[in-house]
Amino acid sequence: MPQGSPTSGVGRVIAGRYLLLNRLGSGGMGHVWLAHDQRLACEVALKEIVFSNPAYAEAEREARVARARAEARNAAGLRGHPHVVTVHDVLEHEGLPWIVMEYVADAVDLRDMVGRHGSLAPAECARIGLAVLDALTAGHQRGVMHRDVKPANILLAPDRIGSPYARVLLTDYGISVQPDAGETRYTLTSVLVGTAGYLAPERATGGPPTAAADLFSLGCTLYHAVEGHGPFVRETPLAEITAVVMEDPLPPVRAGALAPVLHAMLEKDPLRRIPAAEAEAALARIVTPQTDPGAGSYARTQTDLGSPSPCEGQAVPEPAPFIAGPAPSHSPSGRRRRPRSRLLRPVLACLLGLVLALGGVWYAMAHQPPGDTTDTGKDGPPYGTAIGLAAPLKGGDCVTADWPGGKRFDGTPRLALDPTCRDSIPDGQVMAFVSTASAGEARKVGADRCAQRTQEMREKLADVRGFAVVPTDAGFAAAGHRTACLVLGAHGPVYGPLGSHRAMGSRFADTSTMQKRDCLDVPSDRAASLVSCAGKHDQVVLGFTRLGVGVTLARARTESDAACARDVPPADYGFDPSVYEAASWTSRGPWKSGTHFVVCAVRKQNGGTMEGNEP
């Protein structure tokens, strides 16, 4: 029968359990129904995924259902969060996927609220923003990106005492099924569903989903709430996407104290975009104003990446070959949970700045001994005598680190430059900077802000840690008023440049520089090169696993594919298991360090190349 026909409506029982009562609404993914769970005797919301083209649905159904299940597992990890609509399950009924969610009675979405009643006051928008940011941060702590933050996905509902619109809930959390229906969406190579006008610029140009991208979308959403329209509203979706990438947002006229925060959230460069903790503090000051006349405004310390790496564009020789494993066997995945952090309630959030400052002091003290931060020599080295560098670090500089006593991340390392990023086998690289007004401020907040700036890069690599190189009082001016943010190998060197400092076409010397969503050209099972995901490629890196302490490298080369199929199954990332299979890469570096990390990838079973529009 045609999907979405009257026969699929009221009175139908889904999966032998859910009785459809009435349709609550329709959207880009399909229809949302109020349903009665006959097993638990409660009401739930069911989202029916509608494919307008049956032939298209038949060809894509298996992969889409698998992707929906994987995303639902991630979203289920946020069950119980006060600002997230809980996803209970994803099921398949008569060949179509259905998503079982919490039913929120008397809710209205933010888009309809603004459409009915007009734009909201800046303080009310800030209150909503704090709640949504709380939900997003909880997801980001688990590595789950929302990817489609917009007014229609924010629900306002009464609280327990009946106050209208008091509850703020983020819905459609991480659900990436993409039916061909309704609202215009922009689909990218990294399996994104996004809405034109609310995508971050880096997403619109093919970048991966990140916490910073979600924050940009939240900025667009709050702009819509306070102004009555989006910041990049245009006549067509294509024009909106172009505006997001190429043009400034429309100047706000109603935002008031919210305007500086919106400006910081809508920064096109994700490395300069306000981080979540600072956004929370700024929004909280609007919700709960301080006595300081300037407390309602936002002024943040500028950061930048500096100059390109001197080794950019150079291939890195291979000190030790690494081997791709054999064909995999598939088995269920067991995922480790990350702890979820809750943000302070708005009434206490005005204290967040103090908390962050104290945390920064602790972090800086833990990683920079006092003797290294109080060098008061008039013309001393920029980072103190212990660090030992005579000149300030530049963006992309590769470094070697000599730790006192030989124990990594214990004390202050003596750093040396590796100008070629290959001759000395670098331990890490400068990935960002944090500018501050004084050396004292750098000691208080530099380490914490460096951790924020390098978080995205660190999450993409298997075994790295961040380290802040804080200037001394005497060297503060020479260092350009900047703290250098390094990413270092956690247990050994990284063997070459990292992230954007790697040149397309360069051959990997070790698995330590492979990162999630890298696309690989694989001429043999002993070699791999970095290539653009927009063109043809042989494999895509999905994640990492590790083998037991007693597993030798030789044995790992025969067992790593099976381990990746078990721990990082391609089906969890939207790859059809009838077409794709797990692949893996091992190298001597992780075995010398004792970490035994394996890079997990995906490839076609028939050995064919993958295209730019694949998952």
- For the segment 63-86, what is each residue's pLDDT rounded down to a tens digit? 666 666 666 666 677 877 889 988
Which is more confident, 549 or 333? Answer: 549
The separation between CA 490 and the C-alpha centre of its own chain, rounded to angstroms, equals: 21
pLDDT of residue 478: 92
Residues recorded for the chain: 615
By DSSP bridging, strand 539-546 and strand 597-604 are antiparallel
**pLDDT score recorded for residue 190:** 38
Lowest-confidence pick of 217-226, 259-268, 345-354: 345-354
Asked whether 363 and 409 are in contact (CB, 8 A), the reply is: no
Count of CB atoms within 10 A of residue 592's CB?
14
- Residue 152 is given by DSSP the state G
Torsion angle defined by CA atoms of residues 418, 420, 423 and 425, in that order, rounded to the nearest 10 degrees: 60
Average pLDDT over residues 437-461: 86
Written as one letter, the residue type at 456 is E
Q: Are 423 and 310 in contact (CB under 8 A)?
A: no
pLDDT at 326: 39
pLDDT at 189: 37
Which has more confidence, 504 or 53? 504
Q: Is the pLDDT of residue 542 over 80?
A: yes
User: Is 561:584 a contact under the CB 8 Å cutoff?
Assistant: yes
Catalytic residue, from 106, 109, 112, 148: name it: 148
- Higher model confidence: residue 138 or residue 186? 138
3-class DSSP assignment, residue 7: helix
Task: Please answer whether residues 186 and 201 qualify as being in contact, where contact means their C-beta atoms are separated by less than 8 angstroms.
Answer: no
Q: Facing residues of 465 across strands?
A: 488
In the block, residue with structure tokens 């300037």:
294
The identity of residue 459, as a single letter, is: E
Q: Which two tokens stand for residue 591?
A: 């075995």
Q: Angle CA(193)–CA(198)–CA(202) in degrees, nearest 5?
A: 75
Q: Which amino acid is at 352?
A: L
Note the pLDDT tens digit of each residue in 561-610.
999 999 889 988 888 999 999 999 999 999 998 889 999 999 999 999 99
pLDDT > 50? residue 6: no
Residue intervals of the chain classified under CATH 1.10.510.10 are: 6-287
Kindly state the helix (H) or strand (E) to which residue 434 belongs, with its residue range: strand 428-435
Q: Quick check: 49 and 67 in contact, CB under 8 A? A: no
Condensed to tens digits (0 to 9), the pLDDT of residues 306-325 reads 323 333 333 333 333 344 44
| 6-287 placed in CATH 1.10.760.10 | no
- Is 444 annotated as ligand-binding? no
CA distance 160 to 164: 10
Which pLDDT tens digit goes with each residue over 103-129? 998 899 999 999 988 999 999 999 999
pLDDT digits (tens, 9 = 90+) for 226-238: 999 999 999 888 8
Question: DSSP for 243-277?
Answer: HHHHSPPPPPSS-GGGHHHHHHHT-SSTTTSPPHH
| 148 flagged as catalytic | yes
Greater confidence (613 vs 565) lies with: 565
Residue identified by tokens 């998503």 is 99
Q: Which band of pLDDT confidence, cut at 50, 70 and 90, is reported for residue 365?
A: very low
Instruction: Calculate the alpha carbon distances from 419 to 222, 317, 393 in Å.
Output: 45, 15, 11
Residue 498 has pLDDT above 50, yes or no: yes
